[in-house]
Amino acid sequence: MKVLFIGGTGNISSACVELALARGYDVSVFNRGNRPLTLSRPVHAIIGDRNDPARLRKVAAADHYDVVANFVGFTPDQIESDIDAFSGQIGQYVYISSASAYQKPPNHHVITESTPLANPFWLYARNKIACEDRLVRAHREQGFPITIVRPTYTFGPTWVPSAVGGQDYTVVNRIRQGKPIISHGDGTSLWVMTFHTDFALGFVGLFGNARAIGEAFHITSDEVLTWDQIYTTIGRAAGVEPILAHLASETIARLYPDVGAGLLGDKAHSVVFDNAKIKRVVPEFRATVSFAEGIARAIAWLDADSAHRRISEAADRMIDHLVEVARSQARGA
């Protein structure tokens, strides 16, 4: 099977490339070449800008791919270029959307693929919805062979997930220094974290799968945690019980709109994902890496090399400010 990854070096896509290679697929990776390809097996590296329509058409015309997996499609104009370049050239187009596209606030905390798509809070999610709409129309009108995949928060060994503070060493560093971190709301909303190799098992299982054409899937863990539990698990992996400060998501959004969009448009809401559909179509899919195991790997990666331990001064200052706001509100109460 010949597979083209648009992207291929990111937190999620790198695990999918590795699994495709392990299964013996002929893999090409198309990106700007800004990140080194640290893979276990060689791939065909195609250097170029996916936002250059002429370059994209040249890549599409140079070979026939059974699967094109697009990890860097964020706006409808990018999708329009893909449809133009790959129509009639490929067997399947797999698009990475986002679980944030699901209705916010949700009418029900259990999410299935039939949950409506609507997000008035976050432009990122609305753009993903618009991309999906264009792909669905291309499938209906011209038979463009789409499969849509909606991941929730997916992380790997180089990624420490948080809702406020980024995914680098900043939050872990604060925990280890005994400084408070922010757990939005009262910390009890439910969330799902998925390890990237678990996601890859479901994702690559869709390649060349006739039952996946024209369909949408989310691929997530079945483990459900509160945000307080998530941060407590990170702290225990780092060797320190975290100090948690709680602050309303609406307050965070008012003070820091860029962060708040991802809270009100995604992480502030309790979600549980019903994975029955992906399990029917890809029977081997099971999420087996617990959050505790996955985050332990991430902390070990951070601790293995001081160069990995990058701290965002801006995020650190933001958390200091939000903690002070939370404490002031507590004193006022």
Structural element, H or E, at residue 264 = none
Residue 176 Cα to chain centre, angstroms: 26
One domain for residues 67 and 207: yes
Is residue 74 domain-resident? yes
Does a structural domain hold residue 188? yes
Full domain range(s) for residue 138: 2-153+194-218
Q: At what angle do helices 123-142 and 76-86 cross, to 10 degrees?
A: 30
Kindly state whether residues 98 and 168 are assigned to the same domain.
no
Q: At residue 9, does pLDDT exceed 90?
A: no
Based on the domain organization, do 205 and 256 belong to the same domain? no
pLDDT above 70: percentage of residues in the chain: 100
Residue 244 lies in a domain: yes
Same domain, 13 and 99: yes
Same domain, 149 and 165: no
Domain with residue 76: its CATH number is 3.40.50.720
Do both 198 and 309 map to the same domain? Answer: no
Same domain, 44 and 171: no
Q: pTM score > 0.85 for this model?
A: yes
Q: What would the pLDDT profile of 267-326 be if each residue is shown by its tens digit?
A: 999 999 999 999 999 999 999 999 999 999 999 999 999 999 999 999 999 999 999 999
Alpha carbon distance, N-terminus to C-terminus of the chain: 62
171 and 94 in a single domain? The answer is no
Q: What is the CATH number of the domain that holds 229?
A: 3.90.25.10
The residue written with tokens 């509160």 in the block is 226
CB 160 within 8 A of CB 244: no
Task: Clarify whether residues 206 and 234 are in a common domain.
Answer: no
280 within some domain:
no
Residue 297: enclosing H or E segment and its boundaries?
helix 291-304
What does the block give as tokens for 313? 């001064």
> Do residues 40 and 108 both lie within one domain?
yes
Number of domains in the chain: 2
DSSP string covering 52-94: -HHHHHHHHHH--BSEEEES---SHHHHHHHHHHHTTTBS-EE
pLDDT at 164 over 80: yes
CA distances (Å), origin 285, targets 101, 111, 297, 314: 23, 18, 21, 39
Query: Over 90: is that where the pLDDT of 227 sits?
Result: yes
Checking DSSP bridges between strand 154-155 and strand 194-195, what pairing results, if any?
parallel
Query: Do β-strands 225-226 and 190-191 pair in parallel, antiparallel, or remain unpaired?
Result: antiparallel
